[in-house]
Amino acid sequence: MVWPVTTERDGSGQLIIGGVPVSQLADEYGTPLYIYDEATLRQRADAYRQAFERHYPRARVVYAGKAYLATWLLPLLDEAGLWLDVVSGGELYLAVRGGFPAERIVFHGNNKTPEELALALELGVGEVVIDNHYEIELLAQLTAERQVALDVLLRVNPGVDAHTHEYRKTGIVDSKFGLLIQSGDAARAVERIRAVPGLRLRGYHAHIGSQIAETEPFATTINVLFAFAAEMRDRFGVVPDQISPGGGWAIPYESDDPDAAIEPYAAAVAGSALQAAERWGFDPPVLTVEPGRSIVGPAGVAVYRVGAIKDIPGVRRYVCVDGGMADNIRPPLYGARYTAALANRDGAGSDHAVVTIAGKYCESGDVLIRDVELPTVEPGDLLALPAAGAYCLAMASNYNLALRPAVVAVADGRARLVQRRERYEDLLAREVVVVPNQTGE
Ligand SMILES: Cc1ncc(COP(=O)(O)O)c(C=O)c1O
Ligand SMILES: N[C@@H](CCCC[NH3+])C(=O)O
């Protein structure tokens, strides 16, 4: 359940993804290595669009690029008919340079800079999701200067507590995202947006958090959004043509996690929206969802090579790998759990032991998996971590001047290098001070 759909073992026990042996990829491109299975990506993108089309008359699926964004992914998203959510000038720039249609880009962020907003207008993004009063004034000025009109949504804070890690909650009252409904702040923003000639208010947005495996908080959020919409209709006569409960649907990381299938999520979210529209007296507006993790997460596998192995008698065995928190910060940041498998062999017949997979960086917290049962591993073995497609590379750093990993996309027995591994020279690319060459000149 946690592995890409094409994952199998060949006769010799090697792990195969997309028809390609993982060890072959590791030998060719080095480790750590991130492998994306195109079949899984396409299947999930299609599943989202089809499920929402089935359950709702006017649905829009927007991929949240913060989970993982690279130019090679863009045609695949485009072909699947998805929109794209970006949260920075950098994501916006990459998406447009990579050929994604700007009119299907939604620009998010709780502190968009004047330069980022100007870029969004220049590139012609489809929608901007306004987060705060400062942004309304910036957009008022920018649209007036350029004599253009812009479609906007208002991000509200619905005051909904989703069951997820504290750091992943975004819709509770004490949050930096959106404007609170219950204090009247969101209503004040609606009033102001309506008075700005260059802004066309299309509807309301909320995002309550990430890695949420229950549908109930989404249903509550949708109801709060429609109730707010009804209040705005009664006060100002505004009828929204779009409502968005954001993204945040979970994926399984370990085999006993909830399976978080897409179909029941879509059925529940669409059902809640239809019900709430009826209850509050609206024709169903466009329903927009913004999955990030649940599209790319299950498609990605991280591959590491084992190096040092350290036994602390009676305490634990550390199996150290050649990556860690620089390519995957999630375990130290959220206490996120992963599972792992031997990739270059299946370890059949060998003893099993509970070990801790540690990274190579200078932090005690640099542990990828605490306590995972594996066959006996040796230096040189390859370990594969599934469900690594979202928020690993996207949050990767050069800590300890680590080189960020290569990315390979696999499909039908073929591998494409889509992002090369960083090189030592890349570490010098931004240095301003002249670096002497080896002869000291
Ligand atoms: C506004 C918004 N939309 C969508 C997402 C995507 O979330 P996820 O990757 O959990 O689906 C996020 C991130 O949490 C977000 O902030
Ligand atoms: N980066 C997070 C979640 C935050 C999503 C973006 N708002 C994770 O890895 O789970």
CA dist 46 to 49, 242, 315, 389, Å?
Answer: 5, 22, 47, 17
pLDDT of residue 163: 78
Any ligand 1 atom below 6 A from CB of 300: no
Please determine, for residue 151, whether its predicted confidence score (pLDDT) is greater than 70.
yes
Is there a binding annotation on residue 422? Answer: no
164 Cβ below 6 A of ligand 2: no
- The percent of residues above 70 in pLDDT, for the chain, comes to 99
Pairing between β-strand 59-64 and β-strand 83-86 as defined by DSSP bridges:
parallel
Q: Taking 60 as the threshold, does the pLDDT of residue 272 lie above it?
A: yes
Q: How many CB atoms lie within 10 A of CB 227?
A: 15
Q: What share of the chain is helix, strand, coil (3-state, %, to 5)?
A: 35, 25, 40
Residue 392 annotated among the catalytic residues of the structure:
no
pLDDT mean over 112-137: 98
Q: Is 328 in the pocket of ligand 2 (CB under 6 A)?
A: no
> Does 331 belong to an annotated binding site?
no
Cα(60) to ligand 1 centroid in Å equals 15
Predicted confidence at residue 161, as pLDDT, reads 85
207 pocket-lining for ligand 1 (C-beta < 6 Å): yes
Over 60: is that where the pLDDT of 440 sits? Answer: no
Question: Nearest C-alpha to atom 8 of ligand 2 is from which residue?
Answer: 391
DSSP code string of 255-298: TTS----HHHHHHHHHHHHHHHHHHTT----EEEE--SHHHHGG
Q: Whose CA is nearest to atom 14 of ligand 1?
A: 210
Pocket of ligand 1, candidates 110, 210, 395: which has the most ligand atoms within 8 Å of its Cβ, to mutate?
210
| 79 annotated binding-site participant | no
The response to whether residue 330 sits with its C-beta less than 6 Å from ligand 2 reads yes
CB within 8 Å of 434: residues ≥ 6 apart: none
Nearest to 46 by CA among 7, 82, 91, 90: 82
Could you read off the pLDDT of 379-414 as tens digits, one per residue? 999 999 999 999 999 999 999 999 999 999 999 999
What is the whole-number distance in angstroms between the Cα of residue 111 and the centre of ligand 1?
16
**Residue 171 pLDDT:** 78
Strands 20-21 and 33-37: unpaired
What b-and-e string marks burial along 168-204, b requiring 16 or more CB atoms within 10 Å of the CB?
bbbbbeebebbbebeeeebbebbeebeebebbebbbb
Q: Which of 260, 242, 243, 239 has its CA nearest to residue 251?
A: 260
Given this model, what pLDDT does residue 67 score?
Answer: 99
Query: Which ligand is in closest contact with the Cα of 395?
Result: 2
For 113, the 3-state DSSP assignment is: coil
To the question of whether residue 89 is assigned a binding role by annotation, the answer is no
Domains and CATH numbers, the chain: 7-37+298-428 (2.40.37.10), 38-294 (3.20.20.10)
What is the token pair recorded at 354? 């509970």
Q: Is 90 exceeded by the pLDDT of residue 295?
A: yes
In this predicted structure, what is the pLDDT of residue 439?
A: 60
One-letter amino acid of 137: E
Higher pLDDT, 440 or 223: 223
14 ligand 2 Cβ < 6 A: no
The reply, when asked if residue 292 is annotated as ligand binding, is yes
Rounded to 10°, the helix 114-123/89-97 angle is 20
Alpha helices (H) in 147-197, listed in sequence order:
185-195
pLDDT band with cut points at 50, 70 and 90 for residue 438: low
Ligand 1 centroid, distance to 334 Cα (angstroms): 16
Average pLDDT on 417-426 reads: 97
CA of 276 to the centre of ligand 1 (A): 22
pLDDT tens digits for range 234-265? 999 999 999 999 999 999 999 999 999 999 99
Q: Tell me the best of 69, 155, 211 to mutate to test the pocket of ligand 2, counting ligand atoms within 8 Å of each CB and taking the most.
A: 211
Is the per-residue pLDDT at 434 higher than 90?
no
237 contact partners, CB below 8 Å, separation of at least 6:
none
Beta pairing class for 150-157 and 199-205: parallel
Nearest-CA residue for atom 5 of ligand 2: 210
Does the interface predicted TM-score (ipTM) exceed 0.90?
yes
Q: State the ligand closest to the CA atom of 131.
A: 1
Please indicate whether residue 69, judged by its CB atom, sits closer than 6 Å to ligand 1: no
Q: How far is the CA of 21 from the centre of ligand 2 (A)?
A: 30
Q: For residue range 61-93, what is the model confidence (pLDDT) as tens digits?
A: 999 999 999 999 999 999 999 999 999 999 999
Please name which ligand lies nearest the alpha carbon of 108: 1
Verify cis geometry, omega within 30 degrees of 0, for the bond prior to 32.
yes
Q: Which of the residues 312, 315, 348, 362 is marked catalytic? A: 362
Which H/E stretch holds residue 221? Answer: helix 216-236
Mean pLDDT of the chain: 96
134 known ligand binder: no
Average pLDDT, integer, range 16-33: 98
334 is in an annotated binding site: yes
User: What is the atom index within ligand 1 of the atom nearest the CA of 246?
Assistant: 3
Check: CB of residue 243 under 8 Å from CB of residue 222.
yes
Q: Is the CB of 109 under 6 A from ligand 1?
A: no
Does this model's pTM top 0.95? yes
In terms of DSSP bridges, do strands 300-312 and 286-289 run parallel, antiparallel, or are they unpaired?
unpaired
pLDDT surpassing 70 at residue 441: no
